[in-house]
Amino acid sequence: MSMDTFRLDDKVVLVTGSTKGIGYGIALALARAGADVVINSRNQEDCDRVASEVRNLGRRSLGIAADLTKLDAINKMVEAALQYFGRIDVLINNAGTAITRKAEDITEQDWDRVLNIDLKAVFFCSQAVGRFMIQRRKGKIINMASVLGLVGERQVLPYCVAKGGVIQLTRALALEWARYNIQVNALCPGYVITPMNEADLSQEKIYNHIVGKIPVRRLAKVEDLVGGAIFLASDASNYMTGQVLVIDGGWTAE
């Protein structure tokens, strides 16, 4: 097998939640691997900034602000990307959020916020892009799951539920769309320091609690995930679907 199968030359990739954290790092890595990238977050200025960075790497890019909790906004985002690029080869459902709170204190608003972004939006973004991929009989969808979709953890119950749902969504959707040559897989990282969790991870007690569960005894860096993302987005993974690629420093091996 040629190493060229890992290249993403001229593939159009939509990465949700790609102006910071994991999504930002993956978007730039994809561009370096040859992809044109659609950038998304809620803030248009942030989208434009990252799209400019992608263009500085020699690739085409478009920034589209969209609130992924709203189905109409999802559809408009996909329509704008298709109008600009003509196709979407790869969708990476990365946008997510979490709330740290005891189970007995979780409100309906807390529950809806996490599940709407971390699970509901994953399906409806996949549906909006998938309808186009079905017509082309080709495409790849990569869902950002989490080690906490495989194991439980205290005080992040809605997040665990949502990420477990993402893993099952991945498997079920892969079965439905295999006949259309659409591969649906999940990337399942352990804890990565991002703007979403850096305040919690800066607390020594929380940091030691988490690192104590990881055999390699460190948190992940965004750079630890980009190889998996490139593999799942490339032709090298054409015979892989419905799978969960776990990158967790050995956490779930014990």
Residues with catalytic roles: 159
Edge-to-edge strands, sheet with 244-247: 61-65, 36-41, 12-15, 90-93, 139-144, 182-189, 244-247
Q: Which residues contact 98 (CB under 8 A, 6 or more apart)?
A: 114, 118, 156, 158, 159, 196, 197
CA dist 250 and 253 (Å) reads 5
E strands, the chain, in order: 12-15, 36-41, 61-65, 90-93, 139-144, 182-189, 244-247
Question: Which residue(s) pair with 64 in the sheet?
Answer: 40
Q: What is the DSSP letter of 245?
A: E
